[in-house]
Amino acid sequence: MKRLVAIVAVLSLVLVTVVAVGLAVWQLADSSAEDGPSGRSASAPPQPGSTEAPTAELASFYGQRVDWESCQGDFECATLEVPLSYSEPAGTTIDLALLKVPAAGDRHGSMVVNPGGPGAPGTTYAAAADRVFREPLLRAFDIVGFDPRGTGDSAPIDCLADDRLDAYLAGDPTPDTPTEEEEYAARSREFAAGCAQLSGETLNHVSTIETARDLDVLRAALGEAKLTYLGASYGTKLGATYAELFPTKVGRLVLDGALDVSLDNRQLSLDQAAGFQTAMEAYLQNCIDTTETCFLGESLDDALATVSDLLDDIDTSPLPTGGARDLEIGNAYLGVLMPLYDRSYWFLLSAALREALGGQGKALLMLADLYASRGADGFTDNILEANVAINCLDDRSGVGFGRVEAEIGAFEEASPTFGRSFAWSLTGCRAAKGRTSEKPITIRGEGAAPILVVGTTRDPATPMKWAEALADQLESGVLLRRDGDGHTAYNAGNKCIDSAIEAYLLEGVVPANPTDC
């Protein structure tokens, strides 16, 4: 799916959980961590039937045992070997990076986690487990994260050198002149050509279906007869795909911030544009309601106009930041969108907008950099490049550069603030070079155990109606709805949600369908 934001030529080709955004903040605090002493831990004995392979050709992969070694302090790291192409299991192989946070109490087993993206590294997500998950899960499960193929340290996709990626992100996501439109198209073509040149054959093998097959190899290597899994945002698409391919191996799956897997890129982008508009209006209305004089305006219409006018001004004249890079319009959009993922980040957006209205762009650029995993010395992971590669391999649908104007009206109706940028994102895969050998599937998950599908009413990135749709599409889907703001529901301050998810994962208690919290 998408990291849910407009990034130049791939504007809504990205759907990431807010945790993946927040990881950048947490990594700053953890950057001084040293590797722990070298050491190995024994894996738990495999459960009966856990390593049975779906075909004889895959037996060697399913028969692996994970060789954990101490790393990064109290964590354990390892690699998992999988075939680059599942249609040629005797051919080239790749190694997937794994990280485990051992259970702190009476161990129930392993819980595999995925933070979304696509493209977010699961090892980093697992390493942040004490911030992401609550104590009941930390005590009961080994939290296991893996970098999906093409991401992080797992045969990473590469498309552009850092300076070119900077230019790509800074470019105008809302071109409105022939020259700007050609510049937009040129950036898209440069990105696609770079992916093909730098990533080679891997570019053809980073689909969600292949990652779901990897997930089953990981389940077997962990010695688990059934998969326990918590996936957020795009991770819900990965989990749903797993349920379709391996329904009898489904144990307890939580799909939080769910994606409607039946939608094409146009409808996904249109819904996301509306979702971010809802989040922006909720943020602005909160400013109006909770301050004596909101600095953005006295009414919602006034505040919306202030933000739109600011973006128009930055499009014309980038703001200084006091550093080597000015705040250009592409980064300005990212900087505004990033804090909308989580209500607790709204104060950051207010501070950045105040500064920008005063003529300085440092804070908005900092927010954009956090979103893009860009550190002081360059990009810290390849989430943006992997995101585009995976999304375009899964679904190349969209429109040509010359047909975007016909879409503008519908998108601006859905989102007066962000609609034009999301409309242009429909061209994001037009130049893509990757080609998958996997055949499309319809996701129903027939025969799977109950799967918990979770949505939030004012989620900007994955609208509630997507969770409702996925719960209906999955034969065993059970819907859990959170009334609130922000992207994803677990550990967001709603006791009803947290209790329901934990009771399901720990005790197998399936809530009523649907349950409202």
Could you read off the pLDDT of 87-114 as tens digits, one per residue? 999 999 999 999 999 999 999 999 999 9
Residue 18 has pLDDT above 50, yes or no: no
Rg (CA), the chain: 22
**Helix, strand, coil % in the chain, rounded to nearest 5:** 45, 15, 40
Residue 8 has pLDDT above 50, yes or no: no
Residues in the chain: 517
Q: Is 308 a catalytic residue?
A: no
Catalytic residue among 12, 154, 233, 350: 233
**What would the mean pLDDT of 143-164 be, rounded to a whole number?**
97
To the question of pTM greater than 0.95 for the whole model, the response is no
Residue 33 has pLDDT above 90, yes or no: no
Q: Which residues pair with 117 in a beta bridge?
A: 15
Over the range 40-49, which residues count as b (16 or more CB within 10 Å of their CB) and which as e? eeebeebeee
First-residue to last-residue Cα distance in the chain: 26
Residue 3 has pLDDT above 80, yes or no: no
pLDDT at position 21: 54
Helix H or strand E segment including 460: none
Contact 498, 511 (CB under 8 A): no
Q: Is 233 a catalytic residue?
A: yes
Catalytic residue among 342, 369, 459, 485: 459
Residue 22's pLDDT band (boundaries 50, 70, 90)?
low
pLDDT at position 29: 40
**What are the Cα distances from residue 356, in Å, to 264, 343, 368, 455?**
36, 20, 13, 33
Residue 12's pLDDT band (boundaries 50, 70, 90)?
very low
Over the range 253-275, which residues count as b (16 or more CB within 10 Å of their CB) and which as e? bbbbbbbbbebebbebbbbbbbb
* 40-44, 203-207, 265-269, range with the lowest pLDDT: 40-44
Residue type, 380: T
The per-residue pLDDT for range 338-384, each reduced to its tens digit, is 999 999 999 999 999 999 999 999 999 999 999 999 999 999 999 99
